[in-house]
Amino acid sequence: MSSLSRARVARRIAAGAAYGGGGIGLLGAATVGVVLAEVQLAKRQVGHGRSPHPPSADGLYGYAYAGGEEPLRLTMLGDSTAAGQGVHRARQTPGALLASGLAAVAERPVRLRNVALPGAQSDDLDRQVRLVLSDPDGLPEVCVIMVGANDVTHRMPATRSVRHLSAAVRRLRTAGAEVIVGTCPDLGTIEPVHRPLRWFARRASRQLAAAQTIGTVEQGGRTVSLGDLLGPEFAENPRELFGPDSYHPSAEGYATAAMAVLPTVCAALGLWPADEERPDVARREGFLPVARAAAEAASEPGTEVAAAMPTGPRGPWALLKRRRRRRVPASDPAPSSP
């Protein structure tokens, strides 16, 4: 599917989410019978990994900077990817990697809280946001949401999925938090998934990722394409980047995802170098209609989309950035108790 076609589909899904439509699904009805058979086969082969519960990484990061400014508060929301399922050490989870990296860049301690739930779909975000907003320790400065894969595998209508995500972003932004959404990863690279499901899974993943981007940007958040998470790098190095269940990422896979998201987290907090905030034409960055930017980001991992000018002749516009990846700085081996 071309980026223009994907943009049209994403725009239609986002419009349906905004205006209450519910009939736009991710897969055509004619394919459902074949796909369901493949889903059952894939489920039997994937399994659930060796560790049913991801390690808790909540706590304080950046001990070297303690005693100065109050810690920044970072909260993770979403599904098993945000929770870090598939690894055995807290420091290997994406939340811990992001907290350590953010502390090093900000030269300030970071307190991490993770309310993500393995197996969650986008309709669980309402519950997770309530937990975040009722935290007696205060509201986070920045929230990272990773969600969407289970929406695809459970065939949640894309309009419903985007509606729940948009509502979550709106509530967190209204409360004053910066919000970064890691969009739906490319499920077409999961090893046990065979054709024709592989093609449909990839198409559905990218359609949802593009629609998530439109919904998020319209509510004042930013997105980062997580095609990387289960995308080309995973396809080329499945033994290295997938975990024991061939579905969730390994420690190396989560590090790859964290390196893609960290620059956008820092930029949202005003911590990224100013010269990198200007669009670089050599990297094909610039201002685009939000649907076009969303479609391009969905097909290129690690791409950031953020709101730009409020509107234009073709609707809202967005800034598309291809930030240089930087190694996540080494930091504390484990968090302190919350």
Active-site annotation, residues: 80, 245, 248
Report the distance separating Cα 101 and Cα 62, nearest Å.
9
Confirm if 179 and 76 have CB atoms less than 8 A apart.
Answer: no
Q: Could you tell me the sign of the dihedral formed by the alpha carbons of 90, 93, 95, 100, in that order?
A: positive
**Contact partners, residue 20, CB within 8 Å, separation at least 6:** none
Q: Could you tell me the sign of the dihedral formed by the alpha carbons of 42, 47, 49, 50, in that order?
A: negative
Helices first, then strands: H and E counts in the chain: 12, 9
Q: Quick one: how far is CA 77 from the chain centroid? A: 9
Report the distance separating Cα 45 and Cα 246, nearest Å.
9
